[in-house]
Chains A and B, each alone.
Chain A
């Protein structure tokens, strides 16, 4: 039997330990066992992927873009969650604000999450430039909490929402997962309303380099894709990780982020 496939993930919450121990248990005893290494931030995880410390990285969309940049496109995406194929950024304001679209943000204050959050900082600026009045015509209020984790903690997005509640900002850009976690407009009637939702884009994926051959990754992927929402042993892991099934990567969904990173001159590494 070959060595276990070593998967890297970033520890953005204690639940990550439970999730990856569950994943390791799922693969235990199969022909494709795995183990995992947790990192404090995506920068060090991508470094570890490139230097061969780990075989596969569970990467955010920004970590994927940076890995592509640092490997001249030699890396490959293996799989993603079904929810990663339909990720969105949601622009919200106080209920009754009369902001009806991105153009309504002109000369107003927009709260953004961590600078390395694709959904709450990088792509919102991109959407302002390509579907709105341009970022230059909006006052950006940046809330850089938990930089390094690419917005995974969601804390910076909650801080952005607090800024709106406290009238330090007129609107906030957040990921659709955060919008769901606060119950959209339903749990806090009179607090927030969404006035623009972005097109769907791709979020996380499992990333590998060419020196980890398909003979090692494919059996692991076959087992990954076999995880079943209706199987009570698999379901808790899937619920915690926020998906119903693992799916092949949809690389087209990264186009907007590649373009945003280029336009905003975001470095390939820090």
Chain B
């Protein structure tokens, strides 16, 4: 039987702190599961948050916590954009690739059937944009079909290194829906040195050629650069170069090098520090595209139903932020 005095203790202790303040309340002797259930029921009924129960001590926050999801910019709400890793193999072996892609990497393709089902379910799940990435998606012989499955239902972005627009791959590009598809091509610098240093000799020139080809074919092109933090202040020449290529300012994306995958340096990105972007690979659902080859950010192996995967990511984000808020309140330095 639950210790009846615990409810009285909860009322008294929680009533003595200010809104959003936290307090630890000993729940007394009893079955831990029953004590936790009783504390949870009281919190639910009285509009307070049960932060945690450890060793028969409940930590309660007075009042309802602000919903972390509600505080996000609507465009950042997890599940607004859906990332899909079409494959992991690549014609390049960039030394900082967050997905550890290379010519030696196993393909681990998501496949047309799953991409089609994801795209269909994405509409019902409230996704507003699909993003296909790899690996290098243009290595897939059916990349045009994958893209068509996506553009048929939602605006889509396809990430590529832009180096393979020849022959049948150029034909595949030409079959894609220009009105619904944007291409995001990786380019790290205004000259070849820095780009080639990380991505391989000659890759800069071919990427620039790919940008021009994509433009000539009538596609919207976004350019994404990955830069070490110390170089992120020297962007003027790079932006000037992208301007000269006809890349609109809003399509010039600069991102910091992440210490993930093959990178041996960069900013540390964890579940706690990242706002999640639901990311699907052949192996499961991941927290963010930057960590799609890292088990520490695997959310679930179950890709379907997509709605449940999105719900789980949102639930975990709420939990992580609540824990962070709690920790911040528990460790004041003065």
Out of B1, B12, B21, name the residue touching A158 (CB < 8 Å).
B12
* B8 adjacent to A158 (CB under 8 Å): yes
* A182 adjacent to B18 (CB under 8 Å): no
Complexed CA–CA distance, A190 and B1 (Å) = 9
Complexed CA–CA distance, A162 and B8 (Å) = 8
Complexed CA–CA distance, A155 and B38 (Å) = 21
Residue of A nearest to B21 (CB): A14
Dominant SS among interface residues on chain A: helix
* A154 adjacent to B12 (CB under 8 Å): yes
Q: List chain A residues, Cβ under 8 A from B200.
A: none
* B7 adjacent to A18 (CB under 8 Å): no
- Size range of the chain B interface in the assembly: 20 to 34
Residue of B nearest to A95 (CB): B4
* B17 adjacent to A14 (CB under 8 Å): yes
Chain A window 143-160, contacts with chain B (Cβ cutoff 8 Å), 1 for yes, 0 for no: 000000000011100100
In the complex, what's the smallest C-beta–C-beta distance from A169 to chain B, in angstroms? 14
* A181 adjacent to B46 (CB under 8 Å): yes
* B5 adjacent to A182 (CB under 8 Å): no
* A183 adjacent to B8 (CB under 8 Å): no
Tell me if B41 is interfacial: C-beta within 8 Å of chain A.
Answer: yes
Tell me if A243 is interfacial: C-beta within 8 Å of chain B.
Answer: no
Residues of A226-270 contacting chain B, CB below 8 A = 236, 239-240
Chain B window 1-44, contacts with chain A (Cβ cutoff 8 Å), 1 for yes, 0 for no: 11011011001100111110100000000000000001001100
Residue of B nearest to A190 (CB): B1
* B18 adjacent to A158 (CB under 8 Å): no
Complexed CA–CA distance, A17 and B21 (Å) = 13
Tell me if A15 is interfacial: C-beta within 8 Å of chain B.
Answer: yes
Tell me if B237 is interfacial: C-beta within 8 Å of chain A.
Answer: no
* B4 adjacent to A188 (CB under 8 Å): yes
* A191 adjacent to B4 (CB under 8 Å): yes
Tell me if B62 is interfacial: C-beta within 8 Å of chain A.
Answer: yes
In the complex, what's the smallest C-beta–C-beta distance from B7 to chain A, in angstroms? 5
**Contact (A187, B42) CB under 8 Å given A158-B11, A182-B8:** yes
Chain B window 280-318, contacts with chain A (Cβ cutoff 8 Å), 1 for yes, 0 for no: 000000000000000000000000000000000000000
* A13 adjacent to B2 (CB under 8 Å): no
* B47 adjacent to A182 (CB under 8 Å): no
* B47 adjacent to A239 (CB under 8 Å): yes
Q: List chain B residues, Cβ under 8 A from A187.
A: 7, 38, 41-42, 45
Complexed CA–CA distance, A261 and B257 (Å) = 75
Residue of A nearest to B45 (CB): A183
Tell me if A161 is interfacial: C-beta within 8 Å of chain B.
Answer: yes
Tell me if A102 is interfacial: C-beta within 8 Å of chain B.
Answer: no
Tell me if B63 is interfacial: C-beta within 8 Å of chain A.
Answer: yes
Complexed CA–CA distance, A178 and B8 (Å) = 10
* A181 adjacent to B11 (CB under 8 Å): yes
Chain A window 177-206, contacts with chain B (Cβ cutoff 8 Å), 1 for yes, 0 for no: 010011100111011000000000000000
Complexed CA–CA distance, A183 and B48 (Å) = 13
Complexed CA–CA distance, A183 and B4 (Å) = 12
Residues of A122-175 contacting chain B, CB below 8 A = 153-155, 158, 161-162, 165
**Contact (A153, B8) CB under 8 Å given A183-B41, A183-B42:** no
Complexed CA–CA distance, A225 and B158 (Å) = 56
Q: List chain A residues, Cβ under 8 A from B46.
A: 181, 183
Complexed CA–CA distance, A154 and B14 (Å) = 12
* B4 adjacent to A165 (CB under 8 Å): yes
* A154 adjacent to B15 (CB under 8 Å): yes
In the complex, 10 of the A-B residue pairs with CB atoms within 8 angstroms, ordered by the A residue number, are A13-B16, A15-B17, A18-B19, A161-B8, A178-B11, A181-B46, A182-B7, A186-B45, A187-B41, A239-B47
- Footprint of B on A, CB under 8 Å? 13-15, 17-18, 153-155, 158, 161-162, 165, 178, 181-183, 186-188, 190-191, 236, 239-240
Chain A to chain B: the 4 pairs with minimum beta-carbon distance, closest first: A14-B18, A191-B4, A158-B8, A18-B19
- Footprint of A on B, CB under 8 Å? 1-2, 4-5, 7-8, 11-12, 15-19, 21, 38, 41-42, 45-47, 62-63
Contacts A14-B18, A165-B8, A240-B63 supplied; 11 other A-B pairs, CB < 8 Å: A14-B16, A155-B12, A181-B15, A181-B46, A182-B7, A183-B42, A187-B38, A188-B7, A191-B7, A236-B19, A240-B19
